[in-house]
Amino acid sequence: MAGAILKDRLHVAGLVLARGAAAAWRFAASPWRALAGLRRRPPERLLIAPQDIRTSDPTLAADIYAGYFAFGGKIVNAHGRSPFELEPQSDAWARSLASFSWLRHLRAADTAISKANARALVEDFLVDFSKPGANAAWEPRVAARRLLAFLSQSPIILHGADRAFYRRFMKAIGRTQQFLERKMAEGLAGEDRLLVAIALVELSLCAEDAGKLRQRAGRMLAEELQRQILPDGGHISRNPQILIDLLLDLLPLRQAYAARGAQPPPQLLNAIDRMMPMLRLFRHGDGALALFNGMGVTPPEQLATVLAYDDSRARALTNAPHSGYQRLEGQDAVVVVDAGRPPPPVFSTRAHAGCASFEFSVGAQRLVLNCGAPEANRAAAREAARMTAAHSTLVVDDLSSSRFAFHLGLRKWLGDEIVSGPEQVEIERRDEAAGSTLVVQHDGYASRFGLICQRRLVLHKDGKWLDGADRMVAATPGDAIERRPFAVRFHIHPNVRLKRVREGHAVLCLLPNGRRWLFETPWIAEIEESIFFAAPDGPRACSQIVLEGETRDGLELTWSFRQAEKKKR
């Protein structure tokens, strides 16, 4: 065990040193990269405007015209001033404002006032933030989002504009192009690198005489899609929300290639085809996506838009070993399981410590779930939601199966990354006539307590019975497991009412549609308070079923959810 702890410390030290070396290389190389960017001519004219397929609300155009800017959970009244002159209410508000994604609402209004307002707001930005600086507007992700918005909404931005504004607008696009290319050359990593590649490729398709940019950006896009979209269609971050966000950008990009009569990279077409069935893997009967690794409130309009482009109407994937997810189905019952390792550190800033957790829904009602990710402006809540205790799985000594940089005092160097977690996650699955059986085993607690966690789930074919068992075994046969308290948690949807019965060995779950499910176990089941972060109207109180005890080798807790007969009147 001491050797495992030393290995963990060496791993963390290696991450810090690698991050420092990368920063030093970027600093040394930045002057040369900047000079290389200056030699490239900015685009002079736009030929097409890609479609923005995100849903829009024309009524918001009136709010923006009146000076109300609602972003990131904050509403700001500009009182006649430019919103870019105001002190940002939060980082999330500043990023949303500077991204200009909200321009689509002005375009949807399709009035002379909304068009003039769009151009005026863009003009305000060009006056105050035209050059890259140390602010939210020039974070690579925000700059890429702004470039995509400027391209797709260029018809209203340029409607009625004079030649001088057109030149300033194109100069701003060229400056953003140079900035983003420089960031890519300096080693921009993670999800932002793929977004920047998408923005540069889209610019190359929209701008006149941008063939060389198309070649450069196309290569970067193909490389990042190869790296970030896994063979089963999941994103390397393991976050379901990122699949939605990427498809909302990749689908218009595919259309832009067709509009210019250009051949898209095969990696683009293949990625879209693989991502659709993977997205369906996460979908419950109510249309919401399972709450794993950063997923919060499901945006129903965005999900519906994306799935409308799925020409094949592919069935949901059930076995995604590369992404680390499994789906069990029985009639109208669905179980979705996190059966994977944490993502690579640079992609783990929103990942959760939820290995072996599951969600269970019946028809249009979710029963067992994870707490989900809250809004971006709830920093403390986001940290709590990432802990293992916020997931429906086994927790030892109230510690998470993965360790986060902020808990180890390393946020300055590693931000919100996961620095260590389960290394060996083993899966065994059997699909038979009677139902589906899944066994997940992980070593997330092996280095600290010397134990391996095993979870077995059996969903019967009729969808009326889910059997489960959680077992603890020594990480090294013959070694003792450190005695620590544990809890097996089952977070329950806020709309489900719970009632302990049979002297605590069962819990009756009363669903809103009148259906009744019974949770049974030989252990004593307690009902405790919990919180559901992913409700559309903000966090909601809910309950959780908890089984508690002390770890020991070979200990197994069995439990089940089964449909109970409706109570006769």
Q: Convert the pLDDT of each residue in 72-127 to its tens digit.
A: 778 899 988 999 999 888 889 999 999 999 999 999 999 999 999 999 999 999 99
Residue 317 has pLDDT above 50, yes or no: yes
The token pair at 61 is 């155009």
358-417 confidence digits (pLDDT tens)? 999 999 999 999 999 998 777 789 999 999 999 999 999 999 999 999 777 777 778 889
Q: What is the mean pLDDT of residues 276-294?
A: 96
Which bin fits 540, alpha (ψ -120 to 50), beta or left (φ > 0)? beta
- Per-position b or e across 436-473, b if 16+ CB within 10 A of its CB: bbbbbbbbbbbbbbbbbbbbbbbbbbebbbbbbebbbb
Domain with CATH 1.50.10.100 in the chain: 40-227
What pLDDT score does 413 carry?
Answer: 76
Residue 16, pLDDT above cutoff 90? no
Cβ proximity of 392 and 368 under 8 Å: yes
The class (CATH top level) of 40-227 is: mainly alpha
Q: What percent of the chain has pLDDT over 70?
A: 92
The CATH code that applies to domain 327-564 is 2.70.98.70
Query: What are phi and psi for residue 550, nearest 5 degrees?
Result: -125, 135
pLDDT of 378: 79
Q: How far apart are CA 226 and CA 399, in angstroms?
A: 35
Lowest mean pLDDT among 177-181, 206-210, 468-472: 206-210
- Indicate whether 53 pLDDT > 60: yes
Phi then psi dihedrals of residue 56, to 5 deg: -130, 160
Q: What is the pLDDT of residue 38?
A: 47
Is the pLDDT confidence value at 272 over 70?
A: yes
Question: Boundaries of CATH 2.70.98.70 in the chain?
Answer: 327-564
**pLDDT value, residue 498:** 98
**pLDDT band, very low/low/confident/very high, at 32 (cuts 50, 70, 90):** very low
Buried b or exposed e, range 385-403, using 16+ CB within 10 angstroms: bbbbbbbbbbbbeebbbbb
Kindly report, residue by residue over 511-567, the tens digit of the pLDDT: 999 999 999 999 999 999 999 999 998 899 999 999 999 999 999 999 999 999 766
pLDDT at 11 over 60: no
CB 472 within 8 A of CB 453: yes
Question: Crossing angle for the helix pair 163-185 and 211-228, nearest 10 degrees?
Answer: 40
pLDDT reported for residue 375: 83
Indicate the range of 176-185, 338-347, 413-422, 556-565 predicted with least confidence. 413-422
DSSP for residue 288: P
Number of neighbouring beta carbons within 10 Å of residue 426: 12
Tens digits of per-residue pLDDT, 215-234? Answer: 999 999 999 999 999 999 99
Tens-place pLDDT, residues 469-488: 999 999 998 888 889 999 99
The C-alpha angle 372, 373, 375, rounded to 5 degrees, equals: 140
Euclidean distance between CA atoms 519 and 505, whole angstroms: 8
pLDDT range class, residue 12, cuts 50, 70, 90: low
The number of CA neighbours under 13 Å toward the Cβ of 307 is 20
- Whose structure tokens read 């006056």? 127
Joined together, the tokens standing for residue 354 give 């939820």
pLDDT of residue 10: 53
Q: Could you write out the DSSP letters of every residue in 372-403?
A: ----TT-HHHHHHHTSGGGSSSEEETTB-SSE
Q: What is the pLDDT of residue 166?
A: 95
Element of type H or E holding 409: none
Residue 338 contacts by C-beta under 8 Å, 6 or more apart in sequence? 292, 293, 324, 325, 354, 355, 356, 357, 358, 391, 393
In this prediction, residue 4 has a pLDDT band, given cuts at 50, 70 and 90, of very low
Among 366, 373, 365, which Cα is nearest to 416's? 373
At 222-268, the pLDDT tens digits run 999 999 999 999 999 999 999 999 999 999 999 999 999 999 999 99
State pTM to two decimals. 0.92
The CA distance from 388 to 293, in Å, is 11
Neighbour count for residue 300 (Cβ, 10 Å): 13
| Mean pLDDT of the residues in the chain | 91
pLDDT score of 40? 64
One-letter amino acid for residue 16 of the chain: V
Q: What's the confidence (pLDDT) of residue 13?
A: 53
> What pLDDT, on the 0 to 100 scale, is given for residue 7?
54
pLDDT band (50, 70, 90) for residue 510? very high
Task: Report the C-alpha gap between 16 and 18 in whole angstroms.
Answer: 5
Cβ burial, residue 319 (10 Å; 0-12/13-18/19+): middle
Q: pLDDT grade, residue 295 (50/70/90)?
A: very high
Cα–Cα dist 365/284, whole Å:
8
Widest CA span in the chain: 81
**Which DSSP string do the residues of 309-359 spell out, in sequence order?**
T-TT-PPPP-EETTTTEEEEEETTEEEEEE-SPPPPGGG-TT--S-TT-EE
> How far is CA 355 from its chain centroid?
16
Residue 478: count of CB within 10 angstroms of its CB: 6
Question: In sequence order, what are the residues at sequence separation of 6 or more whose Cβ sits closer than 8 angstroms to the Cβ of residue 494?
Answer: 532, 535, 540, 541, 542
The pLDDT-based confidence of 43 (bands split at 50, 70, 90) is: confident
What is the token pair recorded at 244?
């939605």
Percentage helix, strand, coil for the chain under 3-state DSSP, each rounded to 5: 40, 25, 35
Split at pLDDT 50, 70, 90, the class of 346 is: very high
Q: Is 544 helix (H, G, I), strand (E, B) or coil?
A: strand
CA end-to-end span of the chain, whole Å? 59
Give the model's confidence band at 30: pLDDT under 50 very low, under 70 low, under 90 confident, else very high. very low
